[in-house]
Amino acid sequence: RMCPSVSSCTMLPLLLAVQHCSAMWLGDEASSTLSMAAKQDCVLAKEEVDVEGFQRKPSLHSAQLLAYNGQRTRVQFVIGGVQKGGTTTLLDALRGHPQVVMPNQEVHFFDWNSSQNITEYDLKVCGNAPADVICGDKSPSYMHTKVAIERIAIANPDMKWILVLRDPVSRAFSAYKMAMAPHVRAGEPLECFEERINHKKGAFASRGAYVYQIEHIFKHFPRENVHILFSDDLFSGEWDQRALQDFLGIEYVELDCAPSNTADASERSWTMSNETRATLQQVYDPLNEELFKLLGMPNRWKYN
């Protein structure tokens, strides 16, 4: 059943108006899927996928290296990535540990905030926490921002990084769905995923080039200060809680790791076209090989 207009369909169970791709309606079948597979103008060519965005980002200039006037933050760790990797699930779990203090909101002090007031940052993250607990900041875009990595190195050269990595293909589409969901609920037309993938604000493609980002972290922090987790392990409950808590230097406590899924039903039903998935797999395949070689781990994301 075709939907004549966005405004006239606001009472229907599921709607996606896709600009250039036409509006499509699927009913309430149990397997209902809102396909993002597209018409000709929503086909994604391999050469159109930009994964070099992080590489083009500027580093701190010399004057900025004097930031914070010698102040050092008391924040001991960051959950610095990745967006849509399960960082909220990890945040909720760690907030249940009696030796950990973390705000329930993302702070983004080192990327979005131009403030150089470390005391203000510590108060926002740690509050009035006693000295015998550790404080952590969950801001998953730190990993994708050169300046944030460098600012963190100035504020605390011993900062510990927790990175939750997700298959970059599914991560990109999940980030797109999160960005578009408010527009769907408002009944607004959308660009399809293939058109939006390189959009500067979302950086859906370049955020998945993890190897560039982790290489930059390794330039500023020792490898032993970086702990890698994987989304599928986190969501299945098959991750090593003890190893993480040892990494943070806290006593072992069994954590509650129920997935924190904030996507609504309509968002979860969207799917990526097989053609677009295959294209992205071709793009990310060599980057994944470089990543796991850098990490010294078996490649978890071999697509062929």
Interval 122-149: pLDDT, tens: 999 999 999 999 999 999 999 999 999 9
What is the pLDDT at residue 15? 28
Strands 226-230 and 18-19: unpaired
> Tokens in use for 48?
């159109």
Spell out the alpha helix ranges (H) of 142-209: 146-155, 168-185, 193-196
**What integer is the mean pLDDT of 219-247?**
96
Q: Tell me how far apart the alpha carbons of residues 165 and 140 are, in angstroms, rounded to a whole number.
A: 11
- 167-215 residue pLDDT tens: 999 999 999 999 888 888 888 988 889 988 887 777 899 999 999 999 9
Q: Quick one: DSSP state of residue 92? A: H
Confidence band, pLDDT 50/70/90 cuts, at residue 150:
very high
The model's pTM: 0.84
Tokens of 297: 């781990």
User: pLDDT tens digits for 22-65?
Assistant: 332 223 322 223 333 333 358 899 998 999 999 999 888 766 66
Tell me which DSSP letter residue 166 carries: -
Cβ-contact 3, 27 below 8 angstroms: no
Give the pLDDT confidence score for residue 271 in this predicted structure: 86
Which range has the worst mean pLDDT, 42-46, 208-212, 267-271, 289-293?
267-271
Q: In which residue are the tokens 């993302």 written? A: 106
- Spatial distance between the Cα atoms of 165 and 231, rounded to a whole number of angstroms: 6
